Amino acid sequence: MNHQQPETIVVSCPLCSSMEHRVLFEARDRLMNVPGTFTVVACSNCGCQFTNPRPSERSLLRYYPTEYAPYSTKPPNARTGWKAVLSRLFHAYMYPIDVVDPLQVPGQRLLEVGCAAGAYLHTQKKYGLELFGIEYGEEPARYAREALGLNVIHGELVDGHYADEFFDGAVAWMVLEHINNPRGFLRELHRVLKPGAVFTFSIPNSACWESRVFKSDWYALDVPRHLTHFSRNSMARMLEQEGFRVDHVWYQRNLDTLVASVGLRCESIWGSSALTQWFVHFSDHTSPLVRFVLRPMFQPVAYIVSWLHQSSCLTVVAHRA
């Protein structure tokens, strides 16, 4: 692996195009541990936060290795007996709101941007939707096509060459922060969506208290893969600029990133250990203790954090005006 600082480029603010900014802090890749140091800045004009300089498109590819978690093609372990019952109760408690219900009408065309290996699209087959996916990673896109039989294109949204007003809805789960030109993406999405079509997506919330406290140790920062660090306000302004209207913002009820951020902060102070890694990978643990005791136990606090609009991640429901 090349251990030198990657080739970088200086960019303007993704929201207002200003070149003036102030430095917030420096950070490195904490999850994949690919070498390189990156600066997170805030625009002096509008306050939008972004990574600048950032890796060139060619250099950025090395920060998405095959072991990058969203690209995983490993099927989840099947649960039977009491574990299956507990799992159903867990999901009923942890995920009480399905924000994509408005899209679940047979005959509609649904697009997922950044569909990875197709896990979410595969779950939507039962609703009778005509499904389409776009994925920048070549291997996960191939898996989605060949193993799951999904209509997935490798590339960016413009590579789909879709007709005007083609889709009834679109989703993007933790994707917009990865996109090099989010305004250009929203402009193209506006073109391919029908008037009134729903666009539902999730993003990390850079305005949350967790981000302010942990800074470069914030788990959801994830530089340099995350290029734009959205807040609710900056995301709403960008949507409005490109012809969308926000219907609802849901502050996710989950403390997994907080536990992981504690792990990264401890790692920064005392170095990596089995304990810090346990914290960092808390959301990936499949043991009954974590899934059915610890995570549900945190939920009352997660609800309070959500009520205070301080969740580390947002789900936004918007429509194409």
In a domain, 232, yes or no: yes
What pLDDT, on a 0 to 100 scale, did the predictor assign at position 123? 87
In a domain, 261, yes or no: yes
In a domain, 56, yes or no: no
**pLDDT digit string, tens, across residues 259-313:** 999 999 999 999 999 999 999 999 888 787 887 788 888 889 999 999 999 999 9
In a domain, 34, yes or no: no
Distance between CA atoms of residues 321 and 307, nearest Å: 28
Question: Which residues, at least 6 apart from 293, have a Cβ–Cβ distance to it below 8 Å?
Answer: none
Distance between CA atoms of residues 192 and 303, nearest Å: 36
User: In angstroms, what CA-CA distances link 14 with 47, 89, 93, 186, 237?
Assistant: 11, 42, 37, 12, 11
Q: In 150-168, which positions are buried (b, 16+ CB within 10 angstroms) versus exposed (e)?
A: bebbbebbeebebeeeebb
What pLDDT, on a 0 to 100 scale, did the predictor assign at position 2? 44
Question: Is the distance from CB of 200 to CB of 316 less than 8 angstroms?
Answer: yes
What pLDDT, on a 0 to 100 scale, did the predictor assign at position 290? 83
In a domain, 133, yes or no: yes
Residues of the chain with pLDDT > 70, as a percent, come to 88
Would you give the DSSP letter of residue 121? Answer: H
Question: Is the distance from CB of 151 to CB of 132 less than 8 angstroms?
Answer: yes
- Name the nearest CA neighbour of 220 among 238, 201, 207, 233: 207
What pLDDT, on a 0 to 100 scale, did the predictor assign at position 137? 92
Would you give the DSSP letter of residue 46? Answer: T
What pLDDT, on a 0 to 100 scale, did the predictor assign at position 287? 80
**pLDDT digit string, tens, across residues 60-91:** 989 998 888 888 777 655 556 666 666 666 66
What pLDDT, on a 0 to 100 scale, did the predictor assign at position 216? 97
In a domain, 149, yes or no: yes
Angle at 71 between CA 70 and CA 76, to 5 degrees: 75
What pLDDT, on a 0 to 100 scale, did the predictor assign at position 100? 47
Could you say which residues of the chain have pLDDT below 70? 1-3, 75-107
In a domain, 21, yes or no: no
Q: How many domains does the chain have?
A: 1
Angle at 304 between CA 302 and CA 305, to 5 degrees: 65
In a domain, 23, yes or no: no
Instruction: Give pTM, 2 decimals.
Output: 0.91
CATH number at residue 227: 3.40.50.150
Query: Which residues constitute the domain of residue 281?
Result: 85-320
Distance between CA atoms of residues 91 and 83, nearest Å: 12
